[in-house]
Amino acid sequence: MTVLGPFLFGAPLALFALLSLPVIWWVLRATPPAPKDVELPSLRLLEGVEPKEETPARTPWWVWLIRTLAAAAAIIGLSQPVYAPGARNEAPDAGGALLVVVDNGWPSAPRWSELVDAATATLDTGGRDAATHLLLTAPQTLNTDPAMRLSRADMGKRLSSLRPQSWSTDRTEALERLKDSGLKPARIFWASDGIEDEGGRAFAAALSSMAPLSVFAAPPKGPAAITGITSQTDSVSVTLRRVQPRGEERSFVSALTLDGSALATAEAVFNDGEREAVASFTIPAAALSRIARFTATGRQGAGTVWLWDSSNRSRRVGLVDAGSVAQPLLSDMHYVRKALEPFASITEGNIEALVSTSPDAIILTDIGQILPEDGKRLTEWVEEGGALIRFAGPHLAAQGDDLLPVALRRSSRALGGALAWDEPQAMAPFPANSPFDGLSIPPDVRIKQQVLAKPAPDLARKTWARLADGSPLVTADSRGSGTLILFHITAGPDWSDLPYSGTFEQMLRRSIAAGRGESVSDTEGAYSPQLVLDGYGRLAAAGANAAPLKAADFGTVKPSEAHPPGLYQGPSGTRALNAGAGARPSLIESWPLAARLLGDAEARSLRLAGPLLSLAAILLALDLFIALLVAGHLPGLGRRAKGAAALLLVCALGFSLTPPADAQSYRYQQMPDGSYRRVSTAPNVVPITGPGRATQKEIDAALVMRFGYVETGDRALNERTRAGLSGISSVLNLRTSVEPDEPDGLNLETDALELYPLIYFSTPEGAPPLSATAIAKLNAYLRSGGALVIDTRAGGTVGTDTDVAPLEGLLEGLDAPPLQPVPTNHVLARSFYLLDDFPGRFANRRLWIEKTGGPNAPRGDGVSRLFIGDADWISAWAVDGRGRDLYSVDGGPTQREMARRFGVNLVMYVLTGNYKDDQVHLPALLERLGNGDEDEADPRLPERLPEGGPQ
Amino acid sequence: MTPSSDLRAEAEALARQLPNLNFKAEASEAAHIGSAGRRRAGTGEQFWQYRRYAQEDAADRVDWRRSAKGHELFVRETELETARTVLFWCDPHAGFNWKGDGDIRTKADEARLLMLTLGIMMSKDGERIGALGAGRTPSFGKRAVDRLAEDISNGAGRPFPPPPRTSATLVIASDFYDPIPEWQARLKPLAAKCPEGVLLAVAAPIEENFPFSGRVKLHRPGADTDRILGRAETMREDYQRKFAAQREALLALATQIGWRFVSHTTGKPSLHGAARLKLAVESFGARG
């Protein structure tokens, strides 16, 4: 190699060809470009005409400049120049063996190419024939033997094929290997990552004592590693560390999903004097669960990748809001929500929306019957691994479905009531096989009421918690890969004290964890590597050298070849082993005095032959292109060239003027279909326009109270119902302060039911079942406090029971509470008039209302929301446009009057609830006041009441 | 080269847009006694009708053979026969069968289109049309147009045709870029036989404008010669002067032999050229 300034030349003689450049230049200058070739038939006219001015055709100056440059570049390229500023400093005759030491742990990855370049450049210096040896500091089975002699060409190949490893270096071990090999190098070159971590200074001192040492240190610039992470329900903080504390630096961290798409980016700022910086993400919990890893943006290396396993994530829980929201503090969900809020992200909604977001667990409180379609969705979701947690309650006690772990008896068991012998029960210790095992049993918790499981052989196996008397309190069963969990009590304090205790929270938490087939305590079992990181921080399938890792070792083991950083699959989900976890990389500040430190520029060599020859080729291609253009062989290009150039210029300007799109103001929002979309967080102003989407009918119904009736396929029946409601409305207008407007016909599927305090449903004969949508809306209507009157209009003789068979088909899926005939002294019989019977067209028929248990009735103040009868009231109420009665009534005008009084009472009951409940005690009050002694007749008899009002 | 059926269709469309040919009848009657019947009585060879003798008829016009058959005198009338023969010729030179960038059709096609238009109108009027040097006798009617379209496209490779045996009106289409003496030598025999003729010079816009600049190699189609101009723009004025001089010389030549000269450019509407060609042919009728 010939040295010429900072350049080395492999074939210096080729430079003599530069002498021929003037000749080439002269020849090129004299050769004109090819003329444009044109056909012209009238050329004959020009015969004999000599051109006045035939300027000598000359090559334009820029053409020969291009050609000359191309020739020069080709000549220089052929002389194989190498730019190596460090070459001058080496003693050219330093013979003897050269030892190249390369740090190939994860800290070298960001500047790996520089390290390899420096090591390769050092090969260009010194004697050509001296042997070279290689020592790698990252521990590895079958590591290179430093004693092995390598020629310089082999060494170059070897260096360029090296890859950084994803674990860190062990220089003590490397030094031992060097000593064992007995090599006596004449010169040592150390391409170092410059990190003190593994005894860097001691290693440098040892090397320096063996032979003259040159060091090229390339410590990672900016963040070196992600060292830790903390997460809350909807935020994550990522801790970055750099190797030196000087200066202010900014860096970005990306949160990536498993397939590598970025969900969010956050900035981390290293302040001057600090080694650590924190990047904080605020991400909705649902999106958070999709994050698989964090990387320092734009940096390669295993240290700046943090794989996020499932163990320290918050769970996503869906709560099905079924109950009325009028009294949120009394609802069961309130307790669940309060218990879960600290450690889980909570979504509320209906079953369909929740399942579409596939949370870890869904919690249902006291829902007796799930709609068939929702049931199907839930079943699919559970079988894919969800945890469905249900709480018992009056509805569930009345009728269960098949999404339960055990079969239930159709009633609840009350403990410690007035008529019960046994006391409220305490909880028994948790069974050993239960996930609740290990939780403390609060001694003061008492269970007052529960639903009972039917005895079955496997009941004990399914039981997670039981009462002191052995009856199950929590049962669970697996369905597909998911779990069904039933708490046999309500989530609120109606049935037990458990929701008041802290154990309740723990139990819920462990139940939710079951949703992914994980248990909370997982120190057992071995985890086998599934995906591992390579040195550049890319995920790859685990290789043969990766060995399984014991669960207890996570957190203590350091990544190595046997346990490379990556994701490990084990009995309770995946666990991650991260290269940068807890790492404290810092710079080697002081080097041995004898060692010579190479700067960045000196350690680099650049082979220029390839670039120069490429330049020559590109120039020649350009020249060819120009020649074709001048000769007119590229038609159209000349015309378009200007336009294209202008377009390019505009594009370039546009790009340069576009403000850099950075990751500052967006977040991810969940769409209704379960996907995520990036939305701007800029203020979003929605202009308010007009009356919105409410129809005139809805507006009218909201402004003036009126009744609704269900429109059926039978038009005559609709008319009759309308006339009936219209009649009772006019009666109300005349006699009471309730002044309803004309009734509305309702389509159950499309109309807004919640605007009507009472909906009358005259069931047609042989009608098809209501659609699922209609049933769902009716269920919602009933839960939110509406009143539904169902009239089968069948009538019948005295003593025949109400025939509800057609209703079962028609209203399949209606979440009907348990029913009872109206008891005597019920408030319905006294809410306005005092009534004995509730006649319509038919007298002496039964009226069924919701069974309201004692004072512990869970909601609605014990007011029934459902009325089922067959007395055909609307026919008795019906009047035509002029107020004349339309239909005959069995008992004549007296019964019609009674029917109207029932209507008034019904409306009063629906509107005022149990306000008149104290009327039940009226006889006793009257008696005490001494008013009952005149006549022994029942004061409830309507004949004795003044016309127009009860009291 | 445009297919002859396409040319024919376009020519029909052009002919419909032009008014009918208007030869001065007396002049043509006096000039030619041809064979085409005019469907009315007049001088001719074919029998037309017998009509009764009238007072003003000369006695020698009585056809006695017919009159001897009855008591009345009859005069025999013959059909009026006047016809003009028009022969067309289109230059088959490669330079003529050429079009510049952006032109719709070649100069030869343009010339054929104009000539076919004229031929269609003439054959409708009963004139006889044909191609000069094609060897087929001129005729009239639909067939004649078909033949003409065929014949004027088939001139390639043939030498310049000799004059026809009988006198006819000639239409000679070329770009006339050959030197004037050459053309004079070619046209002289024709002019000696046929006193009526039209020279139709068709040029391409490029040939008129000479829009070249810079270093250009010019090449004449059909000839091996080419010529490199260092700066073509300096030659433009010379060229245009030459071009104009050639046109003037042609006009002088045509006038000298009693013919008409019509120039046309492919860039201009064909109707324009057809109308001027028609005017030139009609003018022969007016002259006499």
- Residues of B (238-257) whose Cβ lies below 8 Å from A: 238-239, 242-243, 246
> Tell me: the pLDDT tens digits for A424-437?
888 888 888 777 87
Distance CA A344, CA A562 (A): 35
Distance CA A108, CA A218 (A): 7
Name every residue whose Cβ is closer than 8 Å to that of residue A482 and which is 6 or more positions away in sequence.
A381, A382, A383, A384, A385, A386, A387, A388, A515
The predicted pLDDT at position B254 comes to 92
Q: Which of A36, A37, A40 to mutate to test the interface with B (most CBs of B within 10 A)?
A: A40
The DSSP letter of residue A325 is S
> Are A42 and B243 within 8 A, CB to CB?
yes
Given a contact cutoff of 8 angstroms between Cβ atoms, the answer to whether B67 and B117 are in contact is: no
The predicted pLDDT at position B281 comes to 84
The predicted pLDDT at position B43 comes to 67
Q: Which of B93, B97, B219, B265 to mutate to test the interface with A (most CBs of A within 10 A)?
A: B219
Give the percent of chain A with pLDDT over 90. Answer: 5
Smallest CA–CA distance from A50 into chain B, residue: B235
> Are A36 and B216 within 8 A, CB to CB?
yes
Chain A to chain B Cβ contacts (< 8 Å): 93
Q: Which residues of B touch A50 (CB under 8 A)?
A: none
Q: Does B53 touch chain A (CB under 8 A)?
A: no
Q: Does B96 touch chain A (CB under 8 A)?
A: yes
The predicted pLDDT at position B148 comes to 87
> Tell me: the pLDDT tens digits for A533-574?
888 888 888 877 788 887 777 777 888 888 888 888 766 567
List the one residue out of A405, A364, A360 whose CA is nearest residue A386: A360
Q: Which residues of A touch B98 (CB under 8 A)?
A: 39, 41
Distance CA B2, CA A919 (A): 110
List the one residue out of A746, A756, A909 whose CA is nearest residue A828: A909
List the one residue out of A168, A268, A280 whose CA is nearest residue A223: A268
Mean model confidence pLDDT for chain A: 78
Q: Does A636 touch chain B (CB under 8 A)?
A: no
> Are B214 and A42 within 8 A, CB to CB?
no
- The H-or-E segment that residue A2 falls in is strand A2-4
Both tokens of A779, joined, read: 């269920």
Q: Is 90 exceeded by the pLDDT of residue A177?
A: no
| Least confident range of A30-34, A316-320, A887-891 | A30-34
A330 pLDDT band, cuts 50/70/90, is low
Q: Which of B177, B182, B263 to mutate to test the interface with A (most CBs of A within 10 A)?
A: B177
> Are A39 and B221 within 8 A, CB to CB?
yes
Q: Is 90 exceeded by the pLDDT of residue A107?
A: no
Q: Locate tokens 């995920």: which residue? A: A539
Q: Which residues of A touch B215 (CB under 8 A)?
A: 32-33, 35-36, 57
> Are A39 and B220 within 8 A, CB to CB?
yes
Distance CA A308, CA A291 (A): 7
Q: Does A49 touch chain B (CB under 8 A)?
A: yes
Q: Which residues of A touch B178 (CB under 8 A)?
A: 44
> Tell me: the pLDDT tens digits for A250-294?
889 998 887 888 888 888 888 888 888 888 888 776 677 778 888
State if pTM tops 0.90.
no
**Could you say which residues of chain B have pLDDT below 50?**
24-35, 286-288
List the one residue out of A531, A540, A538, A535 whose CA is nearest residue A566: A531
- The alpha-carbon gap from B186 to the nearest alpha carbon of chain A, in Å, equals 18
> Are B207 and A52 within 8 A, CB to CB?
no
For A287, other C-beta atoms within 10 Å of its C-beta total 19
Distance CA A80, CA A707 (A): 97
Q: Is 60 exceeded by the pLDDT of residue A53?
A: no
Nearest to A49 among B204, B228, B238 (CB): B238
- Residues of B (127-166) whose Cβ lies below 8 Å from A: none
Q: Does A638 touch chain B (CB under 8 A)?
A: no
In the three-class reduction of DSSP (H, G, I as helix; E, B as strand; rest coil), residue A402 is classed as coil
- The alpha-carbon gap from B80 to the nearest alpha carbon of chain A, in Å, equals 48
- The alpha-carbon gap from A671 to the nearest alpha carbon of chain B, in Å, equals 58
Distance CA A787, CA A849 (A): 11
Sign of CA dihedral B132, B134, B138, B140: negative
The predicted pLDDT at position A519 comes to 46
Given a contact cutoff of 8 angstroms between Cβ atoms, the answer to whether A386 and A316 are in contact is: no
Q: Does B216 touch chain A (CB under 8 A)?
A: yes
- Residues of B (167-186) whose Cβ lies below 8 Å from A: 175, 177-179
The predicted pLDDT at position B34 comes to 44
Nearest to A39 among B98, B228, B238 (CB): B98
> Tell me: the pLDDT tens digits for A475-500?
988 887 788 889 988 888 888 888 88
Q: Which of A425-429, A645-649, A679-683 has the highest mean pLDDT?
A: A425-429
List the one residue out of A281, A283, A282, A346 whose CA is nearest residue A315: A346
In the three-class reduction of DSSP (H, G, I as helix; E, B as strand; rest coil), residue B234 is classed as helix
In the three-class reduction of DSSP (H, G, I as helix; E, B as strand; rest coil), residue A407 is classed as coil
Q: Which residues of B touch A36 (CB under 8 A)?
A: 212, 214-217
What is the CA A422 to chain-centroid distance, rounded? 48
The predicted pLDDT at position A515 comes to 59
The predicted pLDDT at position A939 comes to 47
The predicted pLDDT at position A797 comes to 67
Distance CA A197, CA B73 (A): 146
Average pLDDT over residues A699-712: 89
Cα angle A828-A831-A837, degrees, rounded to a multiple of 5: 45
Better pLDDT: A659 or A390: A390
Smallest CA–CA distance from B245 into chain A, residue: A45
Q: How far is CA B213 from CA A41, A556, B218, B235, in A?
A: 17, 84, 12, 9
Smallest CA–CA distance from B212 into chain A, residue: A38
Both tokens of A153, joined, read: 């060409």
Q: Which residues of B touch A58 (CB under 8 A)?
A: none
- The alpha-carbon gap from B201 to the nearest alpha carbon of chain A, in Å, equals 12
The predicted pLDDT at position A857 comes to 47
> Are B230 and A57 within 8 A, CB to CB?
yes
The predicted pLDDT at position A349 comes to 81
> Are A43 and B229 within 8 A, CB to CB?
no
> Tell me: the pLDDT tens digits for A839-883?
888 888 888 888 765 444 444 567 788 888 888 888 889 988 888
User: Per-domain residue ranges for chain B?
Assistant: 4-28+83-287, 37-81
Given a contact cutoff of 8 angstroms between Cβ atoms, the answer to whether A339 and A346 are in contact is: no
Q: How far is CA A872 from CA A322, A899, A902, in A?
A: 32, 10, 12
Name every residue whose Cβ is closer than 8 Å to that of residue B66 and which is 6 or more positions away in sequence.
B50, B74, B76
> Are B231 and A42 within 8 A, CB to CB?
no
Both tokens of A215, joined, read: 């060091």
Q: Which residues of B touch A43 (CB under 8 A)?
A: 218-220, 223, 225-227
Q: How far is CA B265 from CA A304, B109, B272, in A?
A: 77, 12, 10
Q: Which residues of B touch A35 (CB under 8 A)?
A: 215-217, 228
Q: Does A59 touch chain B (CB under 8 A)?
A: no
A683 pLDDT band, cuts 50/70/90, is very low
